[in-house]
Amino acid sequence: MLQGFVEKTQTLIKTLLGTRSDWRLTKPAMPHLPKVTYIWIGPVMAVFTIFIGWFAFTKTVGDGNAAFALFIGSVSIMMMTWSNLLSTRILPLEQIFGGVDRMYVWHRWLGALSVGAMWLHLEMVDDVKGIRGASRNVADAAEDLAETGSTILYILVGISLLRWIPNRWWRLTHKLLVLPYAFSCWHFYTSTKPYANASLWGAWFTGFMLLGLAAWLYRVLWRDIFRKGKLYVVSHIEQTGNVLTIEIEPVGAALKYQLGQFAFLTMKVPGLREPHPFTIASSPDEKCLRFVIRDLGDWTHRLASSLALNDRIVVEGPYGHLAPMPHHPVDHIIWVAGGVGITPFLGTSISRLVDDGPTPHLFYCVPSRHNAPAIEVLEMAAREGRIHLHVHASDEKNRIQPQHVTAAIGGGELHNAHIVMCGPDSLVKSMKTGLRQHGARHLHVEGFDMRSGIGPDLSRYLDDVVRTQLHRLTAKK
């Protein structure tokens, strides 16, 4: 009995600790130099609108460093506002931030940094003399609400950053972040400041706060409840190992998309109703939508056993700016895919819409050639001359190296090569470094992760525990 308890405890501790890579944070990245493009606009705009507010508080009169205390409070508000705006996934923001994957990285970091700014504001704020935003009673009540909201914010952001919390529970708590945001906005509006709410600075901050609240209403109410997406039904299901391939056909108008884009799927099946993003593996000239889904967590694990033919699926999208084919003349097209990272390239490989440019070299990295997702389709595309297929299977001791890429193109440099990569971080990072040493400049990576954070993903583990306990309770009855 004791030995069994010790073993279970050790297993739990090992599961909670995960691996070193589980505790690695994804940093927000500015576009790579030296090329400055339109995708600089979003990050620069966000940083500018957040820190320009310093000039609103330079004439603050009060105890201590009152000007900085008020300014850092406004920084917290503006960071939360931008975090709300980025969660909407609207097309104009997607374009100026360089895709939804980058938007979500900025969304998470701005939300997390707003907590630090709020804490600093609460530690520094003291008596401030100036123009009241409301009567003292109203302002005091709003301040009390803001302090309560700060505690709620600490808890909810902590839940968001720690991946121990299963995704379906996290989604519910994440929607509650509007409470501390609304409390903070009300406190900021009613507090004493060096400017009046009716002034230019008052309109600036008030406008952004209203925009942030409208963004939450748009995302949570309009998009999640009323305008959910396009309806499809499941027409084909195929499982190969731990990879599930599904095809769905439209009920009414079909989704219009481009090669390499992704969509959010909401299954109309009990236990699977939370939306998840997947890259579209079909071609726009096909009637169906195809998705290749790997069993990685509790939701994807249940999907294989719960999804059936004719089940309904709501598709929201399309999103993403990953372009397997270049928009300008290049010498070579190189794709590097790991596992289910093949999905952005699968639709392009079979598409009848792609005729121009050099034939792509697809480097497909898999544990084994025999159970690689869509290997037959890719081999057919290679025989038809649509791609040059290079399979690198671990069980054949044929791990990919940058030299394999340069050898495939005749040993030339990669200065004018269009390189797109999708797969595990370890594969992408090692190939990025190696290919840059051979002159690669145009490197494009799909790095979408709707919920990044620290710690291992325990969704599958907790789901198994809950199911085991429910089974035991049912058996006793």
Distance CA 197, CA 261 (A): 43
CB 94 within 8 A of CB 319: yes
**Which pTM value belongs to this model?**
0.76
pLDDT of the chain, 477 residues: tens digit per residue: 566 556 656 665 666 666 665 556 555 554 444 455 677 889 999 999 999 999 999 988 877 788 999 999 999 999 999 999 999 988 889 888 888 878 888 888 898 899 999 999 988 877 788 888 888 899 889 989 998 988 888 888 877 777 777 677 777 788 888 999 999 999 999 999 999 999 999 999 999 999 999 999 998 888 777 777 899 999 999 887 778 889 999 998 899 998 888 899 999 888 788 888 888 989 888 889 999 888 776 778 788 888 999 999 999 988 887 888 887 888 889 999 888 888 888 888 888 766 677 889 999 998 888 878 888 889 999 998 889 999 998 888 888 888 898 888 887 778 888 999 888 877 888 888 888 888 888 788 866 555 566 656 666 566 566 666 655 666 665
- Per-residue pLDDT, 338: 87
CB 212 within 8 A of CB 84: yes
CA contacts within 13 A on the Cβ side of 441: 9
Six token digits for residue 224: 């999640």
Please say whether the dihedral angle defined by the alpha carbons of residues 409, 410, 411 and 416, taken in this order, is positive or negative: negative
Please say whether the dihedral angle defined by the alpha carbons of residues 309, 313, 318 and 319, taken in this order, is positive or negative: negative
Six token digits for residue 103: 């938007």
CB 177 within 8 A of CB 156: yes
Distance CA 53, CA 46 (A): 12
Neighbours of 457 (CB within 10 A): 19
Q: Across the strands, what pairs with 454?
A: 162
Enumerate domains of the chain plus CATH numbers: 38-226 (1.20.120), 230-319 (2.40.30.10), 332-445 (3.40.50.80)
- Burial annotation 162-195 (CB, 10 A radius, 16+ → b, else e): ebbbbbeebeebbeebbebbbbbbbbbbbbbbbb
Q: Torsions phi, psi of 259, nearest 5?
A: -60, 135
- Per-residue pLDDT, 374: 83
* Strand arrangement of the beta sheet that strand 388-393 belongs to: 388-393, 361-366, 332-338, 417-422, 442-445
Q: Which amino acid is at 149?
A: G
Cis peptide before 166 (omega within 30 of 0): no
- Per-residue pLDDT, 364: 92
User: Within the chain, how many helices (H) and strands (E) appear?
Assistant: 15, 13
CB 53 within 8 A of CB 74: yes
Please list, in sequence order, all residues whose beta carbon lies within 8 angstroms of the beta carbon of residue 355, skipping any fewer than 6 positions away.
none
Q: Which amino acid is at 389?
A: L
Cα 304 to its chain centre, rounded Å, is 23
CA contacts within 13 A on the Cβ side of 301: 11
Six token digits for residue 329: 């003349």
The SS3 call for residue 270 is coil
